[in-house]
Structure 1
């Protein structure tokens, strides 16, 4: 009998979910089957309390005739707070096979009601400890427990950043908690299983509390306390005993407070740590805190509290420095070999004098003379200071900050050899710990390095929010960057929880008139960063629409789409209310084609007219809202936004297309947007595509696009018959190009095409990040067009897969992409060798695929060495002028055919 089984059970995207705030969580699973063409015919879900062994299920769907295996909502009795639930699944396939019951998985709820918080917000006594001090607070207490502890959970959050210690050991592997949200509206709390860290008898608990995003410096006006001027802690510990009884420990006036060894900690500026001031054993029961200060109650609300939504920030990788550089200026600099985000750990066993200080300065690049360069950091310090207590080993890494860097200048250890320095330091890579889902590689090693740079750029900038740059005095969630990169992001990593959390903050910070701030969470209101009266811009505010839509396409997340739908509509209606007619957006401030290379001297804004860019995105968001209305069954809105879209397109053509069919703006970006957003059609569309191609060819296959045009440039070329031009653009090594930075040694994506010029000099210090993911959006084209791994958007989450590799003979000879989709692993790979095309494909069970094989002929097409039309799993096959189109079920396939016609086409 064919093997048919269930794998990868998840609840709300997680295999084991501790501390959920969902009252109706959603389940998903993946199917594994040996036979081709396997799909699910029916399923059954059971939910039970632990220990019940499903003898009396809390919820049993019974057998449901359906092929659904993702986003299936719990519809049983109301869930209780602080409760664990187990679930299992059974499926039947189209051949009558029964998977049997899966292994049980679990999730556990947190505090589902704000009224369940018994703890109080506490802060150090303001009479003895200055609330405005930059020193990190320490707060603690001792407590006693009976024997027979069955389980224990801590629920905690802070106004600021916190970390917990229990009986001398740190709790959990999360960092930068509680994360960054629109704190006034939404503040995440975390749940920790601390059962193993407790003991009968005396116990001790301690918490460190720093300013973080809540109270620290953010933005460019040296502004602090964006959300409040007092740090505060909220924590409660629930201990359950074997006899069914429970004890609860909460933050209250019984806690003590102190100022410890962290003398300063800042998101931008780094951290200062004085080991001489360590309080040994401070989180243990026997510690004498008689010299510590009291605490006081802080009046903060409980209503904004929500359970952790995002992936936690963790240390995900260790990197050891490659070498020590002695610069021409005589400085000792560690080269990590990779532009990374995280922190440097100091760890050595060596006696260094008490009071001596080790200083670490972090930077991304060296200057053209090879000296340490920090000009592009602007006012950000990125500086770590460690003062030794002497006579002992050191083991320290910053607690409440992160740095973006490849190079680290080390001061204070001048007498150490290079070998000793290399052994004493290691880099800890930090970011939201997203599941890695996608891979891409091809026959060109430079493109493979570009792909690595795209991935590293995402890792570095996805630290709880999609930041624009992780090194300078910015590190904010710019909406424009996020929306152009979101689809690439959803290929590289599982970003469902990441963007789910972020777009909820976008909705919370959206202005009453529907406009969307430049950054989310919004910390630029009322600052000099606002170039005009408005705090919104086309292509930036569109994140309100684009990001939820991509989450729907990538994960089938209808709930998030429905949750954000009013926000999406509000953005489009805001645009509609602008301008001097409802179908054009021709007023207000806009970033335009930001950093476009066709900009005027001393301008950041590309040459494409602002109203042309704005109206293009007006059409784009309107189309998405119309399509979202279709998904959500809002018939009235389907008509409304369909008519609005028709009006926008008509107005666009009247305003920006001449009677002869030429675009009014002769820029690459203008042509890209018109094609990408379907603003032109018929002969005008053909002319627009041809002229775009000519603009690139006449520019010797160089682009001039900025943030707005670049993400779609290769997509529209390939879609409109100019794939070879797109590939030549990709392979261009001279400035400006994607590979220019690779040839310059980049290990992440740059903000500027010429962040480092050929002579080694720099673009302006004002805005020159070397880790800025926006131009990495070309990854979307690499995966979907070059490797050919795509979806039919009518059936999201890759339920219906589209495999359509685009070959470029003589330029690339192979490409391969894989994606761990919601249904399982997809692969699309191809190579051309010895006159033969070989295409290898994997389609997961419970999905199907349309495969388009360019240049193939049915009489020559083989699958596994046999005629294609007789291959198992092939549901339909037809030949067109371009090649062969097949409809197939799940399974692995290997297609081969002669490449003679393909060579002629290219």
Structure 2
């Protein structure tokens, strides 16, 4: 901690302002879980060429900064992830911070102050204990959902109030009948035995002097409900529970604390069952009216029992799950009276209905992603997930929506008793409420639809954790899927804190030998094909999420502290692979999932790809070693950097010696050889030619699975085969991205041929593994950003970026933008006759460079671009 060395200096750069002050906590909550928050900001300026050269941060207990701690002047050209320059926060403590920077014109003025408040940072701060309903313990199937309540008295006007709340299970909490937030499915899904998230809400406006009521409904959620296709229950515990601590400051200066304890009462209501896979069942006749309000008679309710404080309590630092969109579906009535609905797109969420009818009449809602040949819901591919919501009316008109569940669907059917009228229907789309940061458009509307499908799939599967699919009896955090998709995920939505949380669980669940489970949070999957594959982890491509995801986060957001936090898991995974290498330096002794769902693999055996799985595994060892090398050097672990660079080199050479000829025979083999540095530099051009030849020989159809797909287009453009890359992109035959678009896809499919060219869906042949919302093949969107539009980071967090558009195919224009940590960067190009026009925009504090596509040249200097707008005109290269 230092005293300010520049505070008295007047601002000399009046053209630049420091804005957008933020910490690494992206929860949107009133408090932060970090005692020493990492600090970031942005610069705003109308003048070009703005560069930050130094900064100063001040921290104070009051917004006037009359007595403050200062970082002093710190030389730095980055605006992200700077250390807290004051004493660590104590629980509940409030501080203010502000920033000024030195640019090329001198010091700016101080930013407006930002407020930061600490959450409960120590278990000793928790007076509350979890409470549960004793007779609800150990249910073998979903049953009535517990209601919990307590009344309390405030002797004076409340002037401040914080509610710290979480649950074993998922909860909806209210004060005086009003929800404490619009968050749903709180607290999400983590490695519950080791880490349980809570939220801090400012609830001052919900309280009144006198009698108040604090209440909650607590469902099974991921904690106690069905998980995996085995539909196991009680995976984490055999009872749900609520943990809540309400701390109120009164106008007379006193404080009142209300906690979950033995004074709470418990009962049941209209929610008869709620399960993530199966849906919910409500009987509105059983609703105890007024139970959330003061004065309700709960004398017949049961007393609660308490549980020990859970381990690993920490406040959520990423955005919550919320309703993020409302859609009015197309509605029609079938001959049998069933109401058929089409949301127009494949979504994750539920239906909200307004219905009227006599007491005892029913409404049943079923969901599916696609229709069968008769035009009815195809539900067999949901496997064990019932995906059904059932309501019994109490008489009159009611608003109906499910609780503590979600469905993946485009289509739904509503069946009712004869006397029921369904007056209104809306689709509520739910997802972790991440900020959209990336956009892409081009002159081909089919490609725009493809990009929209990628975005929709990410949104539908980023729900508490990054899942594989949102509809069937799975919905798990498969490591291979996010490994393939991470760079795309980081360019379309601000995924930093969301994936940081998931990686924290990966680090917790990683085995002592460094193996990474196939799913995070880890739940037992039983035996998987091939039978020798350990279900606890160790599969190449899947375990490599431990290296690929942190690297993608650092590339996109430039947070060095985040890279440091996950370095141990990166290193442990690579050491695990080293321990499994054969004497010849390759990894061929373990069964692998390989290039999963290669379109040439037998439908019943998706691991039997055309590319040798041992080659794929060895290539990924080299890839992770190279990523770890970069991370080690960034973090100053120089010995590690040398060790893992040598590992990459040895492994790449071993792979090429053993499989060099084989690699040239498949699209995945060539792509990994080029993108992972397996092919020697002297042979890269020939491998690129081989890959291009494979694409042409296959009629432009894709021939890669989960592990090859993210790399095939970059490999083609990286070796100058732009025409073949566009041929893959724009191919409309099966398998291919635009084939899915032509078949009406609104999200990405799990299988390239989920709907066959004749329009049929062969469920049996697919082995009941058939999802229409799986984002792995959506990795193509990263290439759309970086090569079609031509915008990619060169230095972490886009501190330096490259504008390298690669026009091709039938496209005549493309544009993309990314809200970087520095501000919005964008590129747009168009071709008109013999001119290629490119507009590049760089936010203040960044620099860039321009790379002209082959066959075009610019007379302007393009090796260094300063912040601001640049308009470049290129002409075709003429042969002399």
TM over 0.5: yes
Q: What do residues 547-589 of structure 1 show as CA deviations (whole Å, max 9, x unaligned)?
A: 1111111111221221211111111111111143272111122
Residues 46, 727 of structure 1: alpha-carbon distance in 2 compared, 3 angstrom cutoff: same
- For the Cα contact (< 8 Å) 1:835–1:900, is it kept in 2? no
Which residue of structure 1 lines up, in the alignment, with residue 750 of structure 2? 751
Which residue of structure 1 lines up, in the alignment, with residue 769 of structure 2? 767
Q: Secondary structure at the match of 1:424?
A: strand
Which residue of structure 1 lines up, in the alignment, with residue 357 of structure 2? 352
Which residue of structure 2 lines up, in the alignment, with residue 882 of structure 1? none
Q: What do residues 760-782 of structure 1 show as CA deviations (whole Å, max 9, x unaligned)?
A: 21133511101000000000100
Question: Could you tell me which of 380, 389, 394 is aligned with 1:384?
Answer: 389
- 1:715 and 1:583 map into 2 onto residues whose CA distance is 27
- 1:344 and 1:594 map into 2 onto residues whose CA distance is 34
1:38 matches 2:50: yes
- 2:139 and 2:469 map into 1 onto residues whose CA distance is 33
Q: Secondary structure at the match of 2:863?
A: strand
Q: Secondary structure at the match of 1:726?
A: helix
Q: What do residues 576-634 of structure 1 show as CA deviations (whole Å, max 9, x unaligned)?
A: 11143272111122111111022246421212111101001011111111111101111
1:373 matches 2:378: yes
Alignment of 1:638-787 (within 5 A): 638-657=641-660, 662-663=661-662, 666-764=665-763, 766-787=768-789
Residues 414, 738 of structure 1: alpha-carbon distance in 2 compared, 3 angstrom cutoff: farther
Q: Secondary structure at the match of 2:759?
A: coil
Which residue of structure 2 lines up, in the alignment, with residue 603 of structure 1? 605
Question: Could you tell me which of 542, 545, 548 is aligned with 2:547?
Answer: 545
Which residue of structure 2 lines up, in the alignment, with residue 409 of structure 1? 413
Residues 704, 807 of structure 1: alpha-carbon distance in 2 compared, 3 angstrom cutoff: same
Q: What do residues 406-449 of structure 1 show as CA deviations (whole Å, max 9, x unaligned)?
A: 11101006677xxx75x511011110110100000000000000
- 2:371 and 2:28 map into 1 onto residues whose CA distance is 44
Alignment of 1:242-261 (within 5 A): 242-261=251-270
How far did 1:64 drift?
3.2
Greater mean alpha carbon deviation, residues 542-551 or residues 450-459: 542-551
Q: Secondary structure at the match of 1:381?
A: coil
- 1:635 and 1:682 map into 2 onto residues whose CA distance is 25
- 1:817 and 1:83 map into 2 onto residues whose CA distance is 42
- 1:563 and 1:836 map into 2 onto residues whose CA distance is 48
Q: Secondary structure at the match of 2:662?
A: coil
- For the Cα contact (< 8 Å) 2:664–2:690, is it kept in 1? no
Q: What do residues 734-761 of structure 1 show as CA deviations (whole Å, max 9, x unaligned)?
A: 1111011111111111111111112221
Which residue of structure 1 lines up, in the alignment, with residue 4 of structure 2? none
- 2:75 and 2:663 map into 1 onto residues whose CA distance is 55
Which residue of structure 2 lines up, in the alignment, with residue 295 of structure 1? 304
Alignment of 1:487-506 (within 5 A): 487-506=487-506
Q: Secondary structure at the match of 2:117?
A: strand
Q: Secondary structure at the match of 1:72?
A: coil
Q: What do residues 520-567 of structure 1 show as CA deviations (whole Å, max 9, x unaligned)?
A: 001125466884351321100100111111111111122122121111
- 1:130 and 1:444 map into 2 onto residues whose CA distance is 54
Alignment of 1:156-235 (within 5 A): 156-235=165-244
Which residue of structure 2 lines up, in the alignment, with residue 81 of structure 1? 91
Which residue of structure 2 lines up, in the alignment, with residue 468 of structure 1? 468
Which residue of structure 1 lines up, in the alignment, with residue 66 of structure 2? 55
Q: Secondary structure at the match of 2:227?
A: coil
How far did 1:132 drift?
6.9
Which residue of structure 1 lines up, in the alignment, with residue 366 of structure 2? 361
Question: Could you tell me which of 17, 25, 30 is aligned with 1:18?
Answer: 30
- 2:137 and 2:41 map into 1 onto residues whose CA distance is 55
Which residue of structure 1 lines up, in the alignment, with residue 331 of structure 2? 323
How far did 1:85 drift?
2.3
- For the Cα contact (< 8 Å) 1:124–1:131, is it kept in 2? no
1:147 matches 2:124: no
How far did 1:684 drift?
2.5
- For the Cα contact (< 8 Å) 2:78–2:799, is it kept in 1? no
Which residue of structure 1 lines up, in the alignment, with residue 312 of structure 2? 304
Which residue of structure 1 lines up, in the alignment, with residue 3 of structure 2? none
What do you get for the CA RMSD once the two structures are aligned? 2.1
- 1:723 and 1:834 map into 2 onto residues whose CA distance is 20
Q: Secondary structure at the match of 2:135?
A: coil
Which residue of structure 1 lines up, in the alignment, with residue 348 of structure 2? 341
- 2:576 and 2:136 map into 1 onto residues whose CA distance is 49
Alignment of 1:777-816 (within 5 A): 777-792=779-794, 795-808=795-808, 811-816=810-815
- 1:484 and 1:12 map into 2 onto residues whose CA distance is 25
How far did 1:396 drift?
2.5
How far did 1:799 drift?
0.3
Residues 528, 610 of structure 1: alpha-carbon distance in 2 compared, 3 angstrom cutoff: closer
1:3 matches 2:10: no
- For the Cα contact (< 8 Å) 2:183–2:320, is it kept in 1? yes
Q: Secondary structure at the match of 1:20?
A: coil
- For the Cα contact (< 8 Å) 1:353–1:390, is it kept in 2? yes
How far did 1:140 drift?
0.4
Greater mean alpha carbon deviation, residues 122-131 or residues 830-839: 122-131
Residues 238, 156 of structure 1: alpha-carbon distance in 2 compared, 3 angstrom cutoff: same
- 1:175 and 1:674 map into 2 onto residues whose CA distance is 44
Residues 47, 530 of structure 1: alpha-carbon distance in 2 compared, 3 angstrom cutoff: farther
Residues 558, 231 of structure 1: alpha-carbon distance in 2 compared, 3 angstrom cutoff: same
Q: Secondary structure at the match of 1:853?
A: coil
How far did 1:325 drift?
5.6
- For the Cα contact (< 8 Å) 1:150–1:195, is it kept in 2? yes
- For the Cα contact (< 8 Å) 2:594–2:707, is it kept in 1? yes
TM-score, length of structure 2 as denominator length: 0.95
Residues 548, 414 of structure 1: alpha-carbon distance in 2 compared, 3 angstrom cutoff: farther
Q: Secondary structure at the match of 1:827?
A: strand
- 2:145 and 2:109 map into 1 onto residues whose CA distance is 54
Which residue of structure 2 lines up, in the alignment, with residue 565 of structure 1? 567
Alignment of 1:442-457 (within 5 A): 442-457=442-457
- 1:656 and 1:567 map into 2 onto residues whose CA distance is 29
Which residue of structure 1 lines up, in the alignment, with residue 7 of structure 2? none
- For the Cα contact (< 8 Å) 1:364–1:404, is it kept in 2? yes
- For the Cα contact (< 8 Å) 1:6–1:29, is it kept in 2? yes
- 1:206 and 1:517 map into 2 onto residues whose CA distance is 38
- 1:664 and 1:60 map into 2 onto residues whose CA distance is 57
1:278 matches 2:287: yes
- 1:770 and 1:472 map into 2 onto residues whose CA distance is 10
Q: Secondary structure at the match of 2:851?
A: strand
TM-score, length of structure 1 as denominator length: 0.92
- 1:721 and 1:12 map into 2 onto residues whose CA distance is 39
How far did 1:99 drift?
3.4
Q: Secondary structure at the match of 1:489?
A: helix
- For the Cα contact (< 8 Å) 1:19–1:308, is it kept in 2? no
- For the Cα contact (< 8 Å) 2:29–2:200, is it kept in 1? no
How many equivalent pairs are there? 862
